[in-house]
Structure 1
Amino acid sequence: MSPAVLANVVALIHFAWVAFLVLGLAAILLGIAFRWEWVRNRWFRLVHLTMIAIVVGESLAGVACPLTVWEHRLRMQAGQTTLEGDFIASWVHRLMFFQAEPWVFTIIYVAFGLAVLAVWIVAPPRWRKARAE
């Protein structure tokens, strides 16, 4: 597989990560309002919390996102001078990235992480064991 195609795959994985975090929090909030039991699934909630904890931890530590680094390296290998590359990558980047100082992103990530943590406290996941047959 060419580096350009792999870069697009990494960009789509990155987009899926962000979409899961944002849409997951929206689903949890709606689930609280509409009493959807599935939003209290412990595995869904643990994965969601872990994913945002990774983002917040990287941001606070000043570590570049590995997916961003990997994609950039693949684009360089493909001879692309911009992170936006082709059609797919261009749209993924337009939806995910905007220009701002690094501290702005840190504040956004921490605030989002605190929102996820607050929802964890307000509407904790269910930890009950499966029913015996």
Structure 2
Amino acid sequence: MDAATLLFLADVVLVLHTALALFLTFGLVVIWLGGWLGWAFVRNRRFRLIHLAGLAVVALESVLGIACPLTDIESALRGAANSAGYRGGFIAHWLGRILYYDFDERVFAALYLAALGLTLLAWRVVRVRDRG
């Protein structure tokens, strides 16, 4: 595969990774806000299970010190293209700056665990609607 294709695939992974991070982050806010404002979709079981599972995986990865597989895939693609960092296009550069951070890992482990706790609490406060 040529370098341009590998970098394109790395950018696709970065966009998907960013979309997932935004879903997990803003999904928590939307669940609480939607519960307060009466938005029906925040009580959807599938939406809530996907959100909970995603946050649980992120929190577990963080506690265990495991890098996200999406980060590994993107890095491998960029490495295979002999690309160092985000020298590529505008989107790749800025999404990378938003998604990747330079803080102590323990700070993020605590934040992920807190978000997971708030998500679990939301199951009691913003109840999922029963089937049928």
The verdict on a shared fold, with TM-score over 0.5 as the criterion, is yes
Whether 1:66 and 2:69 are equivalent positions in the alignment is: yes
How far did residue 49 of structure 1 move? 0.4
Q: Is the 8 A contact 1:28 1:39 kept in 2?
A: yes
Match among 38, 44, 47 for residue 44 of structure 1: 47
Partner SS for 2:66? coil
Corresponding residue for 2:127?
124
Q: Is the 8 A contact 1:8 1:89 kept in 2?
A: yes
Regions of 4+ moved over 4 Å: none
How far did residue 124 of structure 1 move? 2.0
Q: 1:68 to 1:128 in 2, by over 3 A?
A: same
Corresponding residue for 2:11?
8
Q: Is the 8 A contact 1:72 1:83 kept in 2?
A: no
Q: Which sections of structure 1, spanning at least 5 residues, go unmatched?
A: none
Q: Which sections of structure 2, spanning at least 5 residues, go unmatched?
A: none
How far did residue 108 of structure 1 move? 1.3
Whether 1:103 and 2:102 are equivalent positions in the alignment is: no
Whether 1:23 and 2:22 are equivalent positions in the alignment is: no
- 1:63-84 Cα shifts (integer Å, max 9, x gaps): 1100001101111111111156
Give me the whole-angstrom Cα distance separating, in 2, the residues matched to 1:40 and 1:27. 11
Amino acid at match of 1:11: L
Partner SS for 1:99? coil
- 1:80-127 Cα shifts (integer Å, max 9, x gaps): 111563211111112222211111111111111111111122112112
Amino acid at match of 1:12: V
- 1:8-59 Cα shifts (integer Å, max 9, x gaps): 0000010010111112112111111111121100000011101101111111
The TM-score with structure 1 as length reference comes to 0.90
How large is the RMSD of aligned CA atoms in angstroms? 1.4
Match among 85, 89, 92 for residue 86 of structure 1: 89
